[in-house]
Each structure stands twice: as structure tokens, then as C-alpha cells.
Homo-oligomer: A and B are copies of this chain.
């Protein structure tokens, strides 16, 4: 039989109001509270979150929408989010939009129906203005890797441009003057490219070659093959580690050695990067931190504050895939 506040009240010899207050830190005499807690424990009472939510209008749930759950860094981000949210007694429901606007809208609908108290939107998706237009009553919004600062929404992103700039500088610092780049998709891709270009421009250089990629191994491989066929560079900055892996393969097939013939830098610092041959120099994304910050932002917004947006730094991890300039390709 289901244990409700009534059972607890009866067992403790008080009213349900007192039980509720005792359980939620309301004003109750210490002795009474003790009695109530004891009774609740003895009966194995477990408050019904649905009923609580209905009564208070607060579900203690936040909704998370991500474009692609299979992304390698998403797990860490989720962990950061979960760590702070669960510590605060919040649960969360996460879903994948698959970068489909219609699907994203449907997901949001469902989350609103579930009365989420805040929404964390990760990655590309409908612009904030469109969301506000489509959904009348939106809960507090927090964005990760998504445009929204303009709309006054707290946004947490990684430092793409500056990180790419630093990576490129590392290549230049090793004496390379002919450096190529394999671009990524979306805003992250554009920003990384911008940092790349800025570093070159500052050094009075032009990119030796540029190719479009899609963040995958296969995309990196194809792009690298095309680039290598034309040659003219001694270093290459790939916008993601996965693409850098494709570059390794293409270089191998072309009979090029890394880093002797070609220096390579990636982006993300996935688990495998440190174990490639040679270990890949790359930029470490603060994925966990991103989630943590977003979680804290949610909490502070719920507390009526207005958290600041932030751009988190990526650390450049120097490994053996970059060498001082050797022979040109």
C-alpha cells in the first residue's frame, strides 16, 4: 500500500500540513520534526514528485536538448550538468534533436508539458527569437555552444577562435610558413577557421590550402587526400581530432611521415588523441566544465539572478605530431 503524507501524519500524530512542513524545512518544533521524520523513515515514505510538482508548480526538473547524443564529448558535458543539478535536487530529461527543427520543437513541447523549470539547449538549433515566438511561456533558458548572448540568454561556449589561433601559432612557432586547414561545420567550424586565418594574417602569411570537412574521420580523410594531392604545405590544422585521424590515414597512404613531413594539430582532445602514432597535438575542450557552468547558471536563474555568459578556454596540448619545419610536401 502506498505511503502518503496522511499515513505519516497519522503515525506521527500530527496533521498533514505539519508533515509537509517538517519534511520541507518549514517552521516546526524540533521535537515534532523529529517525530515526523522518524515516522516517515519507518514507513518508507517517499514523496510523490508528480504531486509535489502539481501542488507547487515546480517540477524540480530541467530539460536538456542536444543535437546528437553520440558526440564523444557530450557524455562529459552531461556529467557536469548532472553533478550540479542532482546536488541541488533537480532531475533532468535529455533528448536528441538530431538537428531537426521540427523534432526540436516537438521535444520542447513535450518538455514544457512536463513542466521543466529550465531548459538547457546544446548546440545548433532554432534561434532564441524563433523559440520565443513559437512558445509563449518559456522557462529560463541556458545555452551551450549556441547563439543567444544577443538575446540576453546566458550562453556557455568554448573558445574556438582564440584556441584555433593558438594552435596555429604553435605551428608557426615551429617554423612552418605553409599551413593548411581542414574546416569544420557550423559556427564552431567558422570560428576555428577565423582563428586560423587571424594567426596567419598576423604573421603576414596566407593559408597554404583550405578544405571543407564535416568533423568526421571520413571527411578529414577525403579533405586531406585532396589537399595532399596538390601539396604545398608542411603543417595542417584540422578542426577536429576525428578529422585529424583521417589526415593521419591519408598521410600514411601518401607515404608521408607525421611529423617529419607533415605536422598536424587537431581539436577536442578525444581519448584516442594521446595514443595515436604519433600522439596528436590538439586543443582540450572543457566539456565537463561547460556542463557544470550551465548547471550553475540554471540554478542561479531559478534563484532570480542573472548569470553571466562565459567563453571557456581550451588548453593547447602539445604532443609529438608537431615538429619543427622539415621538408615541404
Given A75-B69, A271-B217, are A48 and B113 also a contact pair (CB < 8 Å)? yes
- The yes or no answer to A248 lying at the interface (CB within 8 A) is yes
Q: Are A54 and B46 in contact (CB under 8 A)?
A: no
A55: shortest Cβ distance to chain B, in Å?
9
Chain B residues, Cβ within 8 Å of A59 = 50
- The yes or no answer to A192 lying at the interface (CB within 8 A) is no
Stretch of A22-30, A76-84, A162-170 at the chain-chain interface = A76-84
Closest to A78 in B: B69
Chain B residues, Cβ within 8 Å of A49 = 113-115
Can you list, as one digit per residue, whether each of A71-92 has a CB less than 8 Å from chain B (1) or not (0)? 1101110110010001000011
- The yes or no answer to A277 lying at the interface (CB within 8 A) is yes
Q: Which of B69, B79, B136, B277 contacts A252 (CB 8 A)?
A: B277
Q: Are B274 and A217 in contact (CB under 8 A)?
A: yes
Q: Which of B70, B217, B252, B274 contacts A75 (CB 8 A)?
A: B70
| Copies of this chain | 2
Closest to A69 in B: B75
Complexed CA–CA distance, A79 and B96 (Å):
8
Query: 30 A–B contact pairs at CB < 8 A?
Result: A44-B136, A46-B112, A46-B113, A48-B54, A49-B114, A49-B115, A50-B50, A50-B53, A50-B114, A50-B115, A51-B54, A61-B93, A69-B75, A69-B78, A70-B76, A70-B79, A78-B96, A86-B95, A86-B110, A91-B95, A91-B114, A92-B93, A217-B274, A218-B275, A245-B272, A245-B276, A246-B275, A249-B275, A249-B277, A272-B272
- The yes or no answer to A47 lying at the interface (CB within 8 A) is yes
Closest to A46 in B: B113
- The yes or no answer to A221 lying at the interface (CB within 8 A) is yes
A191: shortest Cβ distance to chain B, in Å?
24
- The yes or no answer to A317 lying at the interface (CB within 8 A) is no
- The yes or no answer to A94 lying at the interface (CB within 8 A) is yes
Chain B residues, Cβ within 8 Å of A113 = 46-49
- The yes or no answer to A109 lying at the interface (CB within 8 A) is yes
Complexed CA–CA distance, A47 and B82 (Å):
27
- The yes or no answer to A242 lying at the interface (CB within 8 A) is yes
Complexed CA–CA distance, A53 and B50 (Å):
7
A126: shortest Cβ distance to chain B, in Å?
18
A47: shortest Cβ distance to chain B, in Å?
6
Q: Are A50 and B54 in contact (CB under 8 A)?
A: yes
Complexed CA–CA distance, A162 and B136 (Å):
55
Closest to A103 in B: B86
